[in-house]
Every structure is written in C-alpha cells, then in structure tokens.
A and B are shown apart, each in its own frame.
Chain A
Amino acid sequence: MALALLASLPAWIGNSYYVNIASQVLLYAVFALGLNVIVGYAGLVSLGHAGLFGIAAYSGAILINGGYGHFLGIVGALAVTLGASALFAVLALRGTGLGFVMITVALGQIVWGVAYRWISLTNGDNGVSIASRPAPFGLSLVDADPFYWATLVVFLVALAAIAVFVASPFGASLRGARDQPRRMNALGYNVWLIRFLAFLFSGLWSGVAGLLFLYYNQFVSPQTVALTASAEVLLMVISGGTATLLGPIAGALLVVVMKNVASAYIERWNFVLGAIFVAIVIFMPEGLVPGSLRLWRWGVRRWRQRLAGPVAMAAVPPGSGGGQ
C-alpha cells in the first residue's frame, strides 16, 4: 500500500516542485537512517556525519568534473567515504558518550575547514557544481519525476539493507554492545570491532545520501558540511525516534517540510520548528514514531475498556503505557 502510494506520488501530486520536495525528504531519510545506525542502535551520538555526507558529495563532484564519468565518480566517492568513515571511527571510538560527541564535532569541523580553505580542490566558499545528472540504463534523471523514482529506489534499498542489518545477529550484538558493553566483552564479543563496523555501515549510507544530495542540487559548498547540517540530521533522528526504522523517515519528513514548505507561509518558521521539537521532547521523549504508537495503543486500550464496561475504566495516564 505505502509502496504503491510512494511510487505513484508524482502522478497525484502533479506539481514538479512538490515532487522535488518529496525527493529531498527521501534523500534526507536515507541520511537519517544511516545516522540512526550509530546513534540509535549503537548508542553513540555523532555530530560529525555531515562531514561524511559532504566528503561523498565533494569527492563525487571532483571526480565527475575530473572527467571520470558518473559510474567511477559514484564508486570512487563511496570508496573515499568508506575510507574517511574508517578514519573517523578509529579516532572517535577511542571514547564513548560525551568524548565521542566531541571528537565527531572536531572531525566534522576539519572537513568543513578543508572544504572552506583548500580552495584549489574545493573552490572554497563558492562551492563546486556539476553539469549533469547521470542517466542509468539510458533513463535521464534531469526531470523531477524520474529523479524522484531513482531516489525512491535508493531509499528502498537503504531501508531494506538497514532493516536486514538491524534484524541480523550482528544487529543484536550491536544493541548488546550499546546496552551492556562490559557484559558483551565478558561474553567474548569484540565491542570495539562491532562499533567500528556499525560506523562504517552508517558512513556508507551517509555517503549514498551525500551523492543523492549532490545530484539533486548539482552543487555542493562548505555549508553542506557545517556543524548545523550535522545537528539538523541528528534532530531528524531524535525527533522521529532513535533505534526505530520509521523514526528517521518521519523526522526527515518533518524537518524538510517545515523548512521548505512551511517557510513559504510562516516567516518565523524556525520558531515553529523549535516549538515542535520542544513539544516532542515534552510529550514524546522517545520520538514521534514510538510516541504516536504509544498514544495509539493507549487509545485502543481505553476504547476496549469502555466497551468492556464501566468497572474496568481505571484511569491509565498516557505516560505509563510505553515500553521504553
């Protein structure tokens, strides 16, 4: 159902502007899903993922402008991103908690500094643009609709890959490393290696999202890798619900729609977005998706109790039904 709805979206949405917004939601959803692997399932909050996102976009742009073509550009960009992720992981995984956050911030800022100041490579503040979008199997992605479908395919692959990853024994050991690292160690698991591999996986999907971003905008500049970009995607994950598959998607939808659509009608859209985040933190601290599910279950139970008779109508406050 949802799939059919998503696939036919350009047909009923009509205007190419809104199709483009939908593409943006999907590409940020891929990014947020990737970040969620490390934030949600590994319990390590990263504020440097825009660096990986940007490394993919920049290396893709530089390779394509260097005449290597789209295929080699994409493969090369992902290889560079994986390498960078490995380096990030080796450095950042020396700590957990606040230490991890600070190292990722620093690494992200280094990438920003390189993008801003290595002008011969990145063209500095003015950014790099690429002339064309690729045409896989002869299908041109120039127009909004085909680009949306291509993004949708990538998004579905990402979602499936991450779902399989999370459900696998490795995913279980990752959650084990998050909740009981010492016990996992005692059981003979290499906690560091588990986190390292999860970081690589997370970096890979951030890189894929970075390439989608590059092709969507056909342009990348230092602002793409700034700290605010890292914070924004982290907000998507947290507002939607960490360690859930649908959470980051809902978060991406919320942020992209508020930023681009609501800003056309509300001048103080930043304020509204902030108010929404505060509301989420107060009423659904576990995120939009788990929070809505909890409310839904609570509502259903109330309804059943009412059907069962007035005796069973014990007051159940909304906060006590959740599993977290």
Chain B
Amino acid sequence: MSARLGRRTFTKRAGAMAMAGALPMPAIAEDKPVKIGLLTVKTGPLAQGGIQMEQGINLFLKHRGKKLAGRKAELVVGDTGGNPAGTKTKAQELIERDHVDFIVGPLAAFELLAISDYVAQHKCPILSLAAAEDMTQRKPNPYFVRASGTSAQAMHPLADYAAKELKYKSVITVTEDFAFGYEQMGGFQRVFEGDGGKVAKKLWPPIVTPDYTPYLAQLSGVDAVVSGFAGSNPLKFMKQYKDQGLTLPILAGSVAMDDALLKSFGDEAVGAISCSGYTADLDTPSNKKFVEGMVADYGNIPGIYAAGLYMSGMVAEAALEKTGGKTDDKEAFIAAMRGVSLTDTPRGPFHFDHLGNVIGNAFIRRCERKDGKLVNTTIKTYKDVGQFWTFDEKWFLAQPVYSRDYPPLKG
C-alpha cells in the first residue's frame, strides 16, 4: 500500500517537473492514467438523459476494471448545466486544468456547437451523442467521433418502413421547436416523399409545453402521426394523446420511444413503431452484459443515452489498443478512433465514415406488453445505415441542412 502511494506521489511530481519543462521523462508517461473527461447535464430539464450518460460510461469502466489498454482509466465529470456558456467553461476545465486525453459528451447540439471550435483548437478528440447533422456534414470537425448517429439517421429508415411496409400515404409530424426536431423531421420527409408519401403538416410545440391540446386538435385526416419528442416530453405527449381519444398509429424517432422511458409509459405506448440505432432487446453478448449491468446497478433498462456512452468507451478502448495505449499524438489517436471497426457492441457491428459518423444497424421496433412490462420488440433491422441513407453523399451535402422550412411542404 505504502509502496503504491509512494509511486503515485513520485509520478505526480515527475509529471509536474516534466510539465515545467525541467526534465522530460517519457518512461513515466505510460504509467499515467488515461484521463476521460465527461461533459454531461446533471441539472435542469435535460438531466434525465445526462445522468444516464454518466451511468453508461461508469458501467463501461466498471466492466473493464477501470483499465483501458493496460492503462488505468480515470473519469473527470463536468456538469454543463445544459447551457452553451457553461459547456465552454467546463470544456476548458477538462482540457486546461485536468488535461484529459479525450472528452465524451455533451448531450445537446447547442452545447456541442459552442465548444466545437475550441476542442478542435486544442486537438482534443471528442465523442458525443449530440446529433447535429452539420458536425459530420457541412462543417465537419476533424476531432469529432459519433457512435450514436445524426438526428435524421434513424428517421430515414423509419420513413422507408412507413411507406414501403406499412403502406402509409400521409402523415403529420409533431416534435419540439428546435434543431434536433427540424433535422429529424426533415430526414423523415425527404425519404417519405421520395417513396411517394405526403407530409400534410409539421407541428412544432415549444420545448416546454404544459398542454398539447392545441396541437393534438390538428392531428386528423392522415394515416399516422410521426413523433420526434425528446427528454421526458414523449411521456407527456403520449398521455395527452390517449386522453384526447386519438387512435392514429404513432411512428416515433429514436428518443421518442427510448427504452429507458418504457417503465414510465402506460398503455398509450403499445403499438408505437419506432426506429433507433440502439435497442435493448438486441441479442449480442456485449448488449446482454450491458443491459444486465444497467439493470443491476441502476435498476432500469438502458436507452440510447447510456448505450451511446458505453459504445463511445468501447471506441476509445479499441483506439487505445491500436496506439499501444498512447494518447500523446492526438492526430494518431483520432485517426485510430475513426478507424475503429467493432463487431460485438450493444448495437451490433459498426464502423465510421470518413467524417467520423457511425455506420451501423437501425432497428425498427414495435412497443408491446410482455409479462406485464412494456418492451420494444425489433421487427426489422436495416443493416449498415449511414448518415446519408441511400443518397449520394455529394448530392446530400450540396443541399441545405434540414431545417424548420427545409424541405418545404408540398402543396
């Protein structure tokens, strides 16, 4: 015990001396722990997802015995408070004070966009869940890696399934009035219209909407309703949807029917068809271990927030194994990350495109009640779905990013 402490103190001092430029000691470098910075939201309305992110990365480190590629791993957590300026300050804390080797998180697009330039300037690799399309499209950040997917990545296959398998002809979309909502529904609309469908209306309730009645009153005359809500809003929306006596089928985006929400839903969720890059019922060894671990430690089936961070950890681990545990050469480290190709993960096999965005499976699920509990049961798997779906990348990037008014409604 005392010998260990002694060595630790020695390492610290040696590190301090090396930092001061007194004497470089490369031999010590590998004894240093790998420092992982987590940017997440633990306060405010986004906290539910943010806390699951922390659970996901903590479980990953526990499963690996707090060791990655032979090096001790250390997690430093920063609470962004869910606002861009707070995210910037916390990113500075992680990079300049704690000298982390890479960052996982943050959750929301507006948090990520506030620090995108800053992390690139410091060449700090960042693995985020934030789905902002342009981070891997029109304004790519070379130090960015995303194992979860863009906003529209799961909406393209959902639209394809709705048009081709469910034979729906017309839908109304409803989701929050912010970029993630616009990008989800833009993606749905492009593919659905391409397959001959019609988007009759797009509704955008504000993020904080106590009463959805004015929006629910407009939901009629179509084959289905597409919901793209995030956070805890899906619970509120679905409850009021049922209370209003609406019976139109629901198509849901990845977080609108997130597995972690299932324990809070009632019968109103039964029958909803959703598409996500992660599904808790996937039968792979690593997903079983992940789900069991989450249930044992935190008492809940995980959703994409926890899974996304768990998989980000796996990507970092695989990259560290490739570089022999070294993180000093940031260019080599990020190249190794983007070159990672995994076969057994909680979402099945995946790899990255040249912009750092994931190419992996997308799962179409139907919500059912089994043994008294709600579950999302996979009914179709789209293999190797990328951010550009079946579109040509050049053509896709030449179009404007999905927004509130793009693509425009027809007729």
Binding site for B on A (CB under 8 A): 15-18, 20-21, 24, 119, 124-127, 129, 131, 144, 213, 217-219, 221, 223-224, 259-260, 263-264, 267, 269-270
Given contacts A126-B132, A221-B84, contact A24 B89 (CB under 8 A): yes
Q: Is B97 touching A17 in the complex (CB atoms < 8 A)?
A: yes
Interface status of B178 (Cβ within 8 A of chain A)? yes
Q: Is A259 touching B113 in the complex (CB atoms < 8 A)?
A: no
The 8 closest A-B pairs by CB, nearest first: A17-B97, A17-B96, A125-B178, A223-B83, A219-B114, A125-B179, A16-B96, A221-B84
- What is the CA–CA distance of A264 and B42 in the complex, to the nearest angstrom? 12
Interface status of B101 (Cβ within 8 A of chain A)? no
Q: Is A217 touching B88 in the complex (CB atoms < 8 A)?
A: yes
What B residues does A144 contact at CB under 8 A?
A: 96
- What is the CA–CA distance of A24 and B85 in the complex, to the nearest angstrom? 10
Q: Is B84 touching A219 in the complex (CB atoms < 8 A)?
A: yes
Interface status of B109 (Cβ within 8 A of chain A)? yes
- What is the CA–CA distance of A144 and B121 in the complex, to the nearest angstrom? 14
Q: Is chain A's binding surface mostly helix, strand, loop or mixed?
A: helix
Given contacts A218-B118, A221-B114, contact A20 B92 (CB under 8 A): yes
- What is the CA–CA distance of A147 and B404 in the complex, to the nearest angstrom? 37
Distance of B22 from chain A, by nearest CB (Å): 15
Q: Is A17 touching B92 in the complex (CB atoms < 8 A)?
A: yes
Distance of B403 from chain A, by nearest CB (Å): 7
Q: Is A264 touching B403 in the complex (CB atoms < 8 A)?
A: no
Q: Is B84 touching A223 in the complex (CB atoms < 8 A)?
A: yes
Interface status of B321 (Cβ within 8 A of chain A)? no
- What is the CA–CA distance of A206 and B84 in the complex, to the nearest angstrom? 19
Question: Which of A119, A129, A259, A267 gathers most chain B CB within 10 Å?
Answer: A129
One of B78, B79, B89 near A20 (C-beta < 8 A): B89
Q: Is chain B's binding surface mostly helix, strand, loop or mixed?
A: helix
What A residues does B96 contact at CB under 8 A?
A: 15-17, 20, 144
Q: Is B97 touching A218 in the complex (CB atoms < 8 A)?
A: no
Closest chain B residue to A19, Cβ basis? B96
What B residues does A124 contact at CB under 8 A?
A: 178-179, 404
Q: Is B79 touching A263 in the complex (CB atoms < 8 A)?
A: yes
Interface status of B390 (Cβ within 8 A of chain A)? no
What A residues does B83 contact at CB under 8 A?
A: 223
Q: Is B97 touching A127 in the complex (CB atoms < 8 A)?
A: no
Interface status of B93 (Cβ within 8 A of chain A)? yes
- What is the CA–CA distance of A129 and B96 in the complex, to the nearest angstrom? 21
Closest chain B residue to A226, Cβ basis? B83
What A residues does B89 contact at CB under 8 A?
A: 20-21, 24, 260
A-B contact pairs, 6 of them (CB 8 A): A126-B132, A127-B113, A218-B117, A259-B81, A260-B90, A263-B79
- What is the CA–CA distance of A16 and B94 in the complex, to the nearest angstrom? 12
Q: Is A224 touching B85 in the complex (CB atoms < 8 A)?
A: yes
What B residues does A213 contact at CB under 8 A?
A: 85
Q: Is A129 touching B79 in the complex (CB atoms < 8 A)?
A: no
What A residues does B349 contact at CB under 8 A?
A: none
Q: Is B403 touching A15 in the complex (CB atoms < 8 A)?
A: no
Closest chain B residue to A222, Cβ basis? B110
Closest chain B residue to A129, Cβ basis? B117
Given contacts A223-B84, A223-B85, contact A119 B403 (CB under 8 A): yes
- What is the CA–CA distance of A39 and B85 in the complex, to the nearest angstrom? 25
Distance of B212 from chain A, by nearest CB (Å): 20
Q: Is A125 touching B109 in the complex (CB atoms < 8 A)?
A: yes
- What is the CA–CA distance of A125 and B230 in the complex, to the nearest angstrom? 15
Interface status of B43 (Cβ within 8 A of chain A)? yes
Distance of A245 from chain B, by nearest CB (Å): 26
Interface status of B249 (Cβ within 8 A of chain A)? no
Given contacts A20-B96, A259-B81, contact A126 B86 (CB under 8 A): no
Question: Which of A126, A213, A218 gathers most chain B CB within 10 Å?
Answer: A126
What B residues does A18 contact at CB under 8 A?
A: 97
Closest chain B residue to A124, Cβ basis? B179
Q: Is A125 touching B110 in the complex (CB atoms < 8 A)?
A: yes
What B residues does A20 contact at CB under 8 A?
A: 89, 92, 96
Distance of A254 from chain B, by nearest CB (Å): 16
- What is the CA–CA distance of A125 and B111 in the complex, to the nearest angstrom? 10
Distance of A60 from chain B, by nearest CB (Å): 15
What A residues does B404 contact at CB under 8 A?
A: 119, 124
- What is the CA–CA distance of A127 and B113 in the complex, to the nearest angstrom? 8
Q: Is A126 touching B117 in the complex (CB atoms < 8 A)?
A: no
